[in-house]
Amino acid sequence: MKLTTLFLEQEKILVPRRSKEERQKNYLIATQKKIQQYIKDGNEGDLDLRGTPITSLPDNLKVGGTLDLYNTPITSLPDNLEVGGGLNLIDTPITSLPDNLKVGGGLNLRGTPITSLPDNLEVGRNLYLNNTPITSLPNNLKVGGGGLYLRDTPISKKYTEQEIRQMVPGVKGEIFL
């Protein structure tokens, strides 16, 4: 067999059966089925969606454990979302959170374009806002026993820890600037 014929045969083997668009569409459908199965199974445990093409979640979603949306194209969260564990939104294009959001564990928004937080936000552990363009915090923000992380934000450059504590008295843990 000639070398050119061998290369042609190898190229035929490596030709994808589905287009990139079709594969992405199928991946999104599989991700949506995963969410529906999670709900059907009683919303228990973690819901790991990191790296998936998910852009939205169903209204009134309850997640018993951690909801991981790291590196997804999600731009907003549904109303009445409840997360018993942590909520990971690192490196997503999310720009806002729903009012009255309650997260039992930590909330991680590092590397997002978020500029403000909603009223009545409650976070049970740590709130990570490092490397965000966040410019304000709601005065009724509650952060439990963990810390409030504000490194490399406009807030960390503008205010001292004491000024931030006066603005958000509901922060129980440390404030990291």
The pLDDT of residue 80 is 86
CB contact at 8 A, 136 and 116: yes
Per-residue model confidence as pLDDT tens digits over 20-63: 888 888 988 999 999 999 999 999 999 999 999 999 999 889 99
Nearest to 59 by CA among 92, 40, 82: 82
Low-confidence stretches of the chain (pLDDT < 70) are 1-16
User: What pLDDT, on the 0 to 100 scale, is given for residue 79?
Assistant: 86
How far is 146 from 100, CA to CA, in rounded Å? 19
Alpha-carbon dihedral sign for residues 36, 39, 122, 100: positive
pLDDT of residue 24: 85
What is the pTM (predicted TM-score) of this model?
A: 0.85
Q: Which two tokens stand for residue 56?
A: 């939205």
Identity at 43, one-letter amino acid code: N
CB 144 within 8 A of CB 164: no
Where do the domains of the chain lie, and which CATH numbers do they carry? Answer: 18-176 (3.80.10)
- Output the average pLDDT for the chain: 90
CA 69, distance to chain mean position in Å, is 4
